[in-house]
Chains A and B, each alone.
Chain A
Amino acid sequence: MKTNDPLENMLRKLRYQAADERRQETLAKIFHEMDESREQSPAPHRRPIWRLTINTHSGRFALAAAVILIVLGGITFWPFGVGKDGRWWLAPPAAWGREIAESLRKVNVLIYREGYVFVADYGSTHISGNWSRWYKAADRQRHDTYYNDTLVSTKWEVPDDSGFLFTCDVSYELQCYTTHTSTSPQPVSDPVGMLRFYVNLLDKADRVLNAETFEGKECIGFEVSAAKYGDNPKEWTDRIWFDKETRLPVRIEYHGRPLTDHPEETLTHVQDQFQYASEVPVDTFQPRIPEGFVNAHPDTIRKAREREEKGEMTYASIPAGLKDTLFVAFRKVETVAYTEGGTRFYASRNAWRTDQIEGNRVRITEWCVIQKHDNAPTSLDFNDKDYRQVQTTVDYDARTCKQVEHRQTTWLRHPMDHIASIIGLIDRADRFYESAEIDGAACFGFDVSAKKYGTNPDGAFHRVWFDKATNLPVRMETHWPTSDGTGVSVTVLEKFEWNPVLPENLFTPQVPPGFTVVEAAGK
């Protein structure tokens, strides 16, 4: 919600701030409230599924049905299964859960990686380049943040000599740091509490998952609805995988967490590479500020650098709520067709097609179809089983066909994701056009410099025009200086048709008979 309105900017400066003592007092009160609430409310995982089942009418009916199923279908699943042949997970979880909880007692430091997989509006999944490595002990923790292979920052939270929490946040990327000491004792999360919570939760699990190998360990997984341990939507599911040998957690996945109000956009968090340590090198939890780093907040440095590199940015005044209005219209789109240069695009939520046209004939057609298997686990190691794109290219001149399977979306991005990302820049626009006629339609539009979202050259910008009647784009231009600096190349997306009725088989790859298959390699 950034604007250039001086009044709004002044209003933003009308700040209030509580004194440090008052903040600590409030924090102590809400911690106390939390302790009280937890003592009063039943533990979220105390009621075993067995008791839950036999204590209700519907439960008894379900139990009877389950017994019939087991007898007829031979289903083996606790609480009825028996731990034979080392298959401990088929035994009642109360027994082995205790064992696991016991072995976790010996753990003093928990180390794990945490990463994220974003599932976009149109079904595509994107593995985040940002990930973390956590080091957690009973009274201290350290959080390393990476972007791909680069360590970006480290944050230590350790008790000082008085028992107060000392926080040190170092940004290697911006060569700066901040420190802060609390004025009262602060809690740090119990490192194995989360794992113990999950182990105890397993008597509520919905199902046992197929065996998988993670990090070279043969694992057995359980899936539990997040609704089982809190007032969470049923779409949230968690999966926890245990090493069959050590019985310790190897991987935890949190699926279906919403990112926005739009239900199709979700995030999967994956915690893996668990290390259970009784001790770690002493310097793990010793804050280290590299020589020459300045004491400043990363945001301050980032803004100063950006100003230096990109010059002062200008921001147009955009009508309040306009971005929301545009996305309301955009998210209702089920199908679209448009032209970019000599190529006609057609897209639906799970597929798109491009026809490269020369004169009156199609020279090359490409189909891209997204296929998802919702029950498979998502991996951070780019072997994402939740997702694949099948790209089929038919070259009518060369009489060839090529089919490639992609497992990650860095290869092929859904055209609607691209359009959405440009529309989303409206709140950073340099210039807003209230009214113009474009392709015969009454429109409004904006220009946004490409420098607003990345390190892009001077003069690179996007211009987007929206139909006033529909709030959907009618024309999208990208102006980019040529690399030799002598000119500007312009690409234009135009001739949009929003929600057209498309032939049913439009997204089904069709290879004419007799064409040669030239490649079928996966990526």
Chain B
Amino acid sequence: MLEDRRLLWRLKCGDKDALRLIYETYQGDLLTLAGNLLHDAATAEDVVQDVFIGLVRSVPRLELRRTLRAYLATAVANRVRDHYRRKPRARLASLDDAGEVPAGCDGPVQMVIDDEQMRRLRSAVAELPYEQREVVMLRVHAGLKFREIAKHQNTSIKTALSRYQYGLDKLRSMMDGEVSK
């Protein structure tokens, strides 16, 4: 948080190095968030690029009242929503083309099992109702607090919490009980 504020201040002063640091710090998580919301790696990269361009444009009047991570993650979520509004049918495109990073594995057999599990989980995530998927991803990949998610979704904290729990429960059932609580 401290580093965020300093970086933003430096950015306001026109420090390109600060912009590079902000980008390098957050682009990975933001791309993961966008990728999991869109299931389309190329569009996710465009979204993240747009968010950083938006950040640069809004910097002079930007008043950061939360973490920079939360600010950027919300911006990503907003842009993904815009994307769906423009292209409502695009959401399940090129699922297999996504440039996911494989999870850390212990050995070849485990790698195969994990890979299969992750594939199924990815498909299950894509099947979640968008509101639930958004809550789950904002919480897991952006670390947003439920009140921040609630504000973003213009709903109550209780609803955001419920969506999160319903989302996880649905994922568990779609994974056929492979992932227990």
Q: Which residues from chain A sit less than 8 Å from chain B, CB to CB?
A: 1, 5-8, 10-19, 22-23, 26-27, 29-31, 33-34, 37-38, 41, 44, 116, 186-190, 193-194, 197, 226, 229-233, 254, 257-261, 267, 269, 317, 320-321, 324
Contact = CB atoms under 8 A, between A and B. Distances in A.
A324 B144 CA distance: 11
Interface string B97-110: 01111011000000
A26 B136 CA distance: 27
Contacts of A188: 17
Nearest to A31: B16
Given A26-B27, A26-B48, A17 B99 contact: yes
A37 B56 CA distance: 8
Classify the secondary structure of B's interface with A. helix
Nearest to A8: B140
A231 B56 contact: no
A14 B12 contact: no
A258 B12 contact: no
Contacts of A8: 140, 168
Interface in B67-119: 98-101, 103-104, 117-118
A26 B16 contact: no
Contacts of A34: 14, 16, 19, 56
Given A14-B121, A187-B16, 4 more contacts: A11-B136, A33-B53, A38-B14, A320-B139
Contacts of A33: 53, 56-57
Interface of B: 1-2, 5-6, 9-10, 12-20, 23, 27-28, 31-32, 34-36, 41, 44-45, 48-49, 52-53, 55-57, 59-63, 65-66, 98-101, 103-104, 117-118, 121-122, 125, 136, 139-141, 143, 145-147, 157, 161, 164-165, 168, 171-172, 175, 179-181
A18 B32 contact: no
Given A17-B101, A18-B31, A231-B60, A26 B23 contact: yes
Given A230-B60, A231-B61, A232-B63, A30 B139 contact: no
Contacts of B180: 6
Contacts of A254: 9
A321 B1 contact: no
Contacts of B32: 14-17
15 contacts: A1-B140, A5-B181, A8-B140, A11-B141, A12-B141, A13-B118, A16-B34, A16-B36, A17-B31, A19-B99, A44-B60, A116-B2, A187-B20, A189-B17, A194-B13
A18 B45 contact: yes
Given A37-B56, A194-B13, A7 B19 contact: no
B69 to A, nearest CB: 12
A17 B28 CA distance: 6
